């Protein structure tokens, strides 16, 4: 597949790195930053073009006429949208995916169904769009509804959720085997424990595996049962009600707007004009103008009574410092957005409870479009070392390696484990190996070793006879 990537920043370079390691992809990156392109060219097997991605000349030079996909991932929405329009009109590129950050292009009253493109985006002939702020907001919302979770990942139209949480000393699962953990759950409540990480080492769960303090537990369950599972396994005194948000940008505003009916929200914004705008556009949120790293301000607003403090500004250093300060002053749990990947590895596991990487979340959404086969969702786990993938199965016994076969008859790649099977409204746990895979099933997979992804893609692909 010939893929053009516009933008050699953190997202564009990470996608280029990911795709360059897989066979069968011809990658070209277009950017105006010669230094960034030089670094990319020296680190990975990709072609680079210095120029504006929205320029017909640059696209032609990059071989747009023969391209299968355009990934417009620059920081400018307008550049991304114009590039998609030109790629469609002049070069007939079949797949045109734009990264769009501004809510102005999304908040349209004319969209009649969820699967329809907002008119403002459809005007630019894009085939799909990626919305980083929206993705991060959804991720944060999931974390706030399950206070002990480190990650909450939705699959199969929200029917299944995969949750990652760390075992602590007062939790009911400490010292229990996997079989005993499942036995603790209420009747008709089931889940699949996909992985246990102990000291950064993967343990493939067996019925006899014991859970220790500090273990990270990854499990999948029917979304209707996740609250029950969390309540049985993980200790917490009460549900979070008081949330303080540092930063009133797009993500802070979106999060406050989604949560303000069910949570007591305070939002701190440094810019006076933005603070005034927030106060006018949020109905039940208390807006405070000031710095989130102002110790006196935090103390006056009773930071020691805050259940969750979210540092969501555009500045990594400010987020880290305000989160550490809030934790030191008594906030029960702190969540911090960090863009730089090196900072993510440095901070994770210290005083900050949850580190959210917008780039990892965005990259996962993009990969779902690029991977071969009918892949509906891709989420990085363990800071990108593992993945959770949703596959939609198509075909019959003649055209598919999966349809009509029992789960235990399929030769899955090493390190690839079934978490759940969704058939209509029915959710089946992956350990039910006697289940036969059917056309239209959604398979939720935990992939511990990313090097086997190419094998997985081949396994789920429908043979050409299916289209005859």
What pLDDT score was predicted for residue 106? Answer: 73
Q: Please tell me the distance from the alpha carbon of residue 58 to that of residue 42, in angstroms, as a whole number.
A: 21
Mean pLDDT of the chain, nearest integer = 87
Whether the CB-CB separation of 181 and 175 falls below 8 Å is answered with no
Which of 431, 443, 410 is CA-nearest to residue 206? 431
Q: What share of the chain is helix, strand, coil (3-state, %, to 5)?
A: 35, 25, 40
Token pair listed for 301: 């607003």
Q: How does residue 467 score in pLDDT terms, banded at 50, 70 and 90?
A: very low
Phi-psi region of 25 (alpha: psi -120 to 50; beta: other; left: phi over 0): beta
Q: Cα separation of 92 and 434, whole Å?
A: 46
Q: Which CATH class name applies to 371-460? A: alpha beta
What's the pLDDT score for residue 348? 57
From 199-213, 265-279, 363-377, 382-396, the region with the lowest mean pLDDT:
363-377
Q: What sign for the dihedral angle of Cα 182, 183, 185, 189?
A: positive
CA separation for the pair 142, 357 (Å, rounded): 15
- In CATH, the number for domain 2-130 is 3.40.50.720
Contacts of 256 (CB under 8 A, 6+ apart): 245, 248, 265, 267, 278, 282, 285
- Domain topology for 244-360: Rossmann fold (3.40.50)
Predicted pLDDT of residue 109: 43
Provide mean pLDDT across the span 386-415.
Answer: 87
pLDDT band at 32 (very low <50, low <70, confident <90, very high): very high
Can you give the residue ranges of every domain in the chain?
A: 2-130, 136-233, 244-360, 371-460
- Condensed to tens digits (0 to 9), the pLDDT of residues 199-215 reads 888 898 999 999 999 99
**Cβ neighbours around 32 below 10 Å, total:** 16
Cut 0.85: pTM above it: no
Alpha helix stretches (DSSP H) within 76-214: 77-91, 119-122, 132-145, 178-184
What's domain 136-233's superfamily in CATH?
Regulator of K+ conductance, C-terminal domain (3.30.70.1450)
Beta bridge partners of 267: 245, 287
The pLDDT of residue 461: 77
Predicted confidence at residue 233, as pLDDT, reads 94
Average pLDDT over residues 191-199: 91
Q: What confidence tier does 326 reach under pLDDT thresholds 50, 70, 90? A: very high
For residue 346, the model assigns a pLDDT of 66
Domains 2-130 and 371-460 equal at CATH topology level: no
Nearest 10 degrees: CA dihedral of 206, 208, 214, 217?
40
The confidence score (pLDDT) of residue 296 equals 94
Q: What is the pLDDT of residue 464?
A: 45
Q: How many CA atoms lie within 13 A of 279 on its CB side?
A: 12
């Amino acid at each position: 597949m010939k893929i053009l990537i516009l933008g050699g920043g953190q997202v564009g370079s990470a996608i280029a790195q990911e795709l360059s390691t897989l066979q069968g992809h011809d990658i070209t990156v277009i950017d105006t930053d010669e230094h960034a392109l030089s670094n990319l060219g020296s680190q990975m097997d990709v072609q680079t073009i210095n120029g504006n991605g929205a320029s017909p000349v640059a696209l032609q030079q990059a071989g747009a006429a023969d391209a299968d996909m355009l990934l417009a991932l620059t920081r400018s929405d307008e550049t991304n949208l114009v590039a998609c329009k030109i790629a469609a009109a002049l070069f007939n590129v079949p797949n045109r995916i734009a990264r769009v950050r501004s809510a102005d292009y999304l908040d349209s009253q004319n969209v009649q169904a969820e699967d329809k493109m907002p008119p403002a985006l459809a005007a630019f002939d894009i085939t799909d769009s990626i919305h980083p702020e929206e993705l991060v907001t959804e991720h944060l919302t999931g974390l706030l509804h399950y206070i002990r979770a480190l990650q909450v990942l939705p699959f199969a139209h929200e029917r299944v959720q995969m949750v990652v949480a760390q075992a602590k000393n007062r939790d009911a699962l400490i010292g229990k085997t996997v079989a005993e953990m499942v036995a603790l759950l209420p009747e008709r409540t089931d889940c699949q424990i996909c992985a246990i990480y102990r000291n950064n080492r993967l343990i493939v769960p067996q019925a006899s595996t014991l859970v220790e303090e500090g273990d990270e537990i990854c499990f999948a369950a029917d979304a209707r049962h996740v609250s029950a599972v969390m309540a049985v396994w993980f200790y917490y005194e009460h549900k979070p009600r008081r949330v303080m948000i540092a930063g009133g940008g797009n993500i802070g505003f979106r999060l406050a707007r989604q949560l303000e009916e069910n949570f007591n929200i305070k939002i701190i914004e440094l810019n006076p004009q933005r603070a005034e705008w927030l106060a006018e556009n949020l109905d039940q949120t208390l807006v405070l103008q000031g710095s989130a790293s102002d110790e006196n301000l935090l103390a006056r607003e009773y930071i020691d009574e805050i259940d969750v403090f979210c540092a969501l500004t555009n500045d990594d250093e400010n987020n880290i410092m305000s989160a550490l300060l809030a934790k030191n002053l008594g906030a029960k749990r702190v969540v911090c957005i960090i863009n730089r990947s090196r900072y993510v590895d440095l901070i994770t596991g210290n005083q900050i409870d949850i580190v959210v990487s917008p780039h990892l979340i965005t990259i996962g959404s993009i990969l779902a479009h690029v991977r071969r086969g009918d892949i509906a969702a891709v989420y990085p786990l363990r800071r990108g070392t593992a993945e959770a993938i949703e596959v939609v199965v198509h075909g019959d016994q003649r055209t598919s390696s999966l349809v009509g076969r029992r789960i235990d008859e399929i030769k899955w790649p090493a390190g690839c484990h079934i978490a759940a099977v969704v058939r209509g409204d029915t959710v089946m746990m992956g350990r039910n190996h006697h289940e036969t895979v059917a056309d239209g099933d959604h398979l939720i997979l935990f992939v511990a070793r990313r090097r086997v992804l190419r094998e997985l893609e081949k396994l789920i692909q429908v043979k050409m006879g299916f289209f005859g």
